[in-house]
Amino acid sequence: MPNVRTKFLANGVPTKKKKLLLFASLILIIGLAIAYLSASAQNSNPHARTQIDVSWEAYQTLGSLKSNASSIIVGQVVSVKETISIESVPYTDFVVSVTQSIKGSLAPASSVIVRQLGNSTLSVEGEHLLNVGDKVILFLTASPVSAVMYIVGGPQGHFTLQNGEVNSLDATYPDDSWIHVKFHNLALSDFIQEVNLS
C-alpha cells in the first residue's frame, strides 16, 4: 500500500507551485492505489466498502496545525454538496456554515466547501467524513486548483463540538490514538484561547 505524505510549507510559507505539485502527486498516488484495490477486488462483494490506508503528516503540536492552516473555523455541516471523482479518486464535498472564525478571512454566516477523500464506497483510514448536522472546529487549507478547502492533516485538524465542549477525533474513534494534538471535553472558549496562544 502506498503511503501519502503531505507537507505544504517551505521555509514556513506555502508556495502555490509546491502545493499544485503536491496535489497532483497525491491524486496520482491515490488513483494508483484505488486502481490496484479495484483490480484485486474484482470477485468481491459489489456492495462492500473498500478501504485504503493513507499516512498523514504527524502534527506534534497545536502550533504546527495552526501554522499550516490558512483558516480555522467553528461551524456546522449543513449539506453534502456532491461526490466527485478526480482522476478516478472519489471525494465528497460538504458545505459548512461558519459560525466563528478563529484564524483567516472566512466570516461568520458565510459558507465554505470542505472536500474530503472518500465516499460511500471508499473509506480512507483515519479520514472520518463529515455528517450533516455535525458541529465542528476545522483547521483548513485552500486547494491550489479550486475553490474548496481541505482539512489539515486529515483527522488531526478535525475537532468535534458537542454541548460547548471540544474533542479531538481520538475521543470518538479509539483507532485514532496516534493523533498528537488531543483535547477531551475542553470548553470552546478555552480551546480558542489555546489556539490563539499557540
- In the structure, what pLDDT confidence band is assigned to residue 17 with cuts at 50, 70 and 90? low
Nearest CA-CA partner of 127 in 60, 176, 74, 79: 176
What is the model's pLDDT at position 23?
63
Average pLDDT over residues 12-35: 56
| Pairing outcome for strands 122-124 and 89-103 | unpaired
User: What are 23's three cell numbers?
Assistant: 496535489
- For 61, which DSSP code? S
In-domain check, residue 4: no
User: 126 pLDDT exceeds 80?
Assistant: no
Contact predicate 125/37, CB 8 Å: no
User: 92 pLDDT exceeds 70?
Assistant: yes
In-domain check, residue 13: yes
What is the model's pLDDT at position 164?
95
Q: Where are the alpha helices (DSSP H) in the chain?
A: 16-40, 62-68, 188-197
In-domain check, residue 182: yes
In-domain check, residue 2: no
**Mean of the per-residue pLDDT values for the chain?**
81
| Number of neighbouring beta carbons within 10 Å of residue 58 | 13
* Domain total of the chain: 1
What is the model's pLDDT at position 10?
42
Which residue range is the domain that position 134 belongs to?
9-197
Round the CA-based radius of gyration of the chain to a whole number and report it: 17
What is the model's pLDDT at position 47?
52
In-domain check, residue 34: yes
As a whole number of angstroms, the distance between CA 149 and CA 11 comes to: 22
